[in-house]
Structure 1
Amino acid sequence: MNKRIFYIDADGSPHLVVPAPAARFDDETDDAFLTRISVKDVPKEARAVRTVDVADLPEDLNAGAVFFRAWTITGNQLCVDMVTARSIWREHIREARASLLAALDIEYLRADEQEDSERKAAIAARKQKLRDAPSDPAIENAETIASLREVWPLDGDDS
């Protein structure tokens, strides 16, 4: 079955219920199965409860749904809230740059011990570039998930 149950809980978080095929009764129709699972697994206070086809999901779950927390319902369609998606992407960049900044901190200390002011300045510039990465204007200008994924200001950093 290629159907899923999407809902938003009371605190605004999205959820996706994937019905387990083994939970299906013999001779149970798709609609009856989904209704039974929905009644059992979707909280009463949930809103925007929808049965959706896997092909209509905003992201491929097998590829990792980075933006799942940004999924929402607009009208009757499951889509991605781009304001939330941009915030998620900025956090993703911050997480990715953490190890790069840590490595540069060590390099900076070594340059400091060697009193190499030229190297310290170059390292400081690279660190500033990493600190500025989540503020890249291309993130704010991205209008789709595909265009947002293309913005990766950490590319080319040889840290």
Structure 2
Amino acid sequence: MFSRAALPLISAAVLAGCASAPRVETRLSAAVPVAVTAYRLFEVEAPTAADRAASDAVRQALAARGWREVDDKTAWRVETAYAVRPQKTGVFTDVDARGGEWTEAPHLPQWWSRNRQIHSLSVILTGPGDEAGAYRASAVAVLGRRQADDAANLLAEAAVAQLEAAN
């Protein structure tokens, strides 16, 4: 049995674990060319509030790193894909799925994290005209309800940082 003196210590440890920053996993498909700093943002046809929040967060993260949004059809295109799923569903992008790889594999959560969900954001950068291929930066985190409000900003910062780190 625990002594009364140990209860405050145990409580502090539990609260510290709850307050810790979430772990964000990131991936980048390939190094983005250094010269890319101008883009135009494409949004889905009928964006949800979550889609708009993710697009705005990516826009802010890119602006903070010196990228500028332009209305030029020859600029690089940036698209975002934001999803929230139960942990037992898992996360993958189309490219990962074709390769048989999960971005975040499904798993049965522990009892203390059953109310958490997987939040994922992919930032897809496609070259103008005849530029080769698309570059994908993704960020994934398992977040609780209290952390979900800032999920788009957290994931956008992590994904856009991957684009910058590759330069």
TM-score interval, smaller chain: under 0.3
Per residue, is there more strand in 1 or in 2?
Answer: 2
Structure ID, larger Rg: 1
Normalised to the residue count of structure 2, the TM-score between the two structures is 0.22
Looking at both structures, which has the greater relative contact order when contacts are Cα pairs under 8 Å and sequence separation is at least 6?
A: 2
Per residue, is there more helix in 1 or in 2?
Answer: 1
Normalised to the residue count of structure 1, the TM-score between the two structures is 0.23
